[in-house]
Amino acid sequence: MPSPVRVREIPPGASLGPFLDVAWRVNGGDPVWVPPLRMSLATLLNRSKHPFHQHADVAYWLAERDGQAVGRIAAVVNHRHNEFHDEQTGFFGLFESENNPETARSLVDAAAAWLRERGMQRLMGPMNLSTNEEASSPGVLVEGFDTPPMVMMTHNPPFYGQLLEGTGLTKAKDLLAYWVDNHIPLERAVRRMEPILARHGATVRFLDMRRFAEEVATIQRIYNSAWERNWGFVPMTGEEIEHMAKDLRPVVDPRLCLFVEVDGEPVGFSLALPNLNQALRHLPDGRLFPFGIFRFHWHRRRIDSLRVITLGLKPGFQKSGLGAALYLHTFQVGAPLGYRTAEASWILEDNWEMRRPLEKMGAEAYKRYRIYERELAT
């Protein structure tokens, strides 16, 4: 029989190195797992450095057996989420665990108890750490384990779903990732979009890096209006959007960040990123420095896939067909840049306004992620 598992909270100010290391202990033997970039994850978890912590309370736990870390979890009270949705929901995230029901149960129970003490009535997750600040995408992977994850997307062992369900959690929502191959007849599809653009008096343009701050402000306005009614949405603060823009600026190709304008007014945008995981997977320890930076840039030249990480339209334009036009323009621009394939993710399972255009283009839902929930007994 294995020794009992012990769960302990990592006190504020203590090193989070052991917390980060658990991901390698659990996933290191998986050939398609891509190690996270340690410096980025450490910044997100740092209560004094990342703007998320200005409106959220976060705690971190380790599960240990015989002095070895065998699991981890974070608990989050996102005050902006609860204020916006008028509810008392607490979140868990960054979940990693050995294949042991006792370990998973002990971690989830620790997070649940901490959240209950703070007045939370429902537990939901994984959120890593929110839908705006993603160390990786929400949920646990439940379908599509045979291919590596795209940049900022989740990958985990197949047994995670069973472990979480064993703690009393049930499905809240599924998220989908769509695969887009270069067999799609882009030119013909784009020609079909031209009448839609003409009907709305719409044009599509690239991000203007010379006006980067102004463009970021435009993205924030569109984002906070386009997603307002979406499940799980929380408006981004100015500090959050500025932090995200600072992180993404070095890797954004302005030709892959598109705005659609009607009569000169931006009404929608999309952002695609090169799939940096194709380079990051060659950094087995997740460290850029001192030598990983050279391997990263060497392999970055060979990236041939991209991920559409966000696409949104202001209310009044969400059934206009302009979303499909943004997808198509992204794929049309990406092909001559050397991107042979793409992923559109993540998309709510019931968001047919996004799913239908992709499926009409021949895209395939090839990965599924599950978010769980349970009531917190008083």
Tell me if 378 is assigned to some domain.
no
Tell me if 377 is assigned to some domain.
no
Q: Report the distance separating Cα 317 and Cα 312, nearest Å.
A: 9
Residues 152 and 129 in one domain: yes
Query: Could you give the angle at which helices 322-334 and 186-200 cross, rounded to 10 degrees?
Result: 140
Domain boundary among 145, 175, 205: 175
Domain boundary among 150, 175, 200: 175
Residues 139 and 45 in one domain: yes
Phi and psi torsions of 67, nearest 5°: 80, 0
pTM attached to this predicted model: 0.94
Phi-psi region of 112 (alpha: psi -120 to 50; beta: other; left: phi over 0): alpha
What is the model's pLDDT at position 186? 60
What is the model's pLDDT at position 313? 94
Residues 268 and 328 in one domain: yes
Q: Report the distance separating Cα 140 and Cα 127, nearest Å.
A: 9
Tell me if 1 is assigned to some domain.
no
Residues 289 and 201 in one domain: yes
DSSP strand E in the chain: where? 6-9, 56-65, 68-78, 89-97, 122-125, 140-143, 170-180, 202-206, 257-262, 265-274, 305-313, 341-348, 364-375
Q: How many CA atoms lie within 13 A of 134 on its CB side?
A: 16
Q: Which residues of 324-339 are buried (b: 16+ CB within 10 A; e: fewer)?
A: bbbbbbbbbbbeeeeb
Domain count, the chain: 2
Torsion sign across C-alpha atoms 68, 69, 71, 74? positive
What is the model's pLDDT at position 188? 65
Burial of 195 (0-12, 13-18, 19+ CB in 10 A): exposed
Domain extent for 93? 6-175
Angle among Cα 106, 110, 116 to the nearest 5 degrees reads 140
Residues 266 and 139 in one domain: no
What is the full per-residue pLDDT of the chain (378 aa) written as tens digits? 678 999 999 999 999 999 999 999 999 999 999 999 999 999 999 999 999 999 999 999 999 999 999 999 999 999 999 999 999 999 999 999 999 999 999 999 999 999 999 999 999 999 999 999 888 999 999 999 999 999 999 999 999 999 999 999 999 999 999 998 865 556 666 677 788 889 999 999 999 999 999 999 999 999 999 888 788 899 999 899 999 999 999 999 999 999 999 999 999 999 999 999 999 999 999 999 988 999 999 999 999 999 999 999 999 898 888 998 999 889 889 989 999 999 999 999 999 989 998 888 889 999 999 999 999 976
Are 123 and 113 in contact by the 8 Å Cβ rule? The answer is: no
Residues 100 and 160 in one domain: yes
Residues 103 and 208 in one domain: no
Parallel/antiparallel/unpaired status of strands 68-78 and 89-97: antiparallel
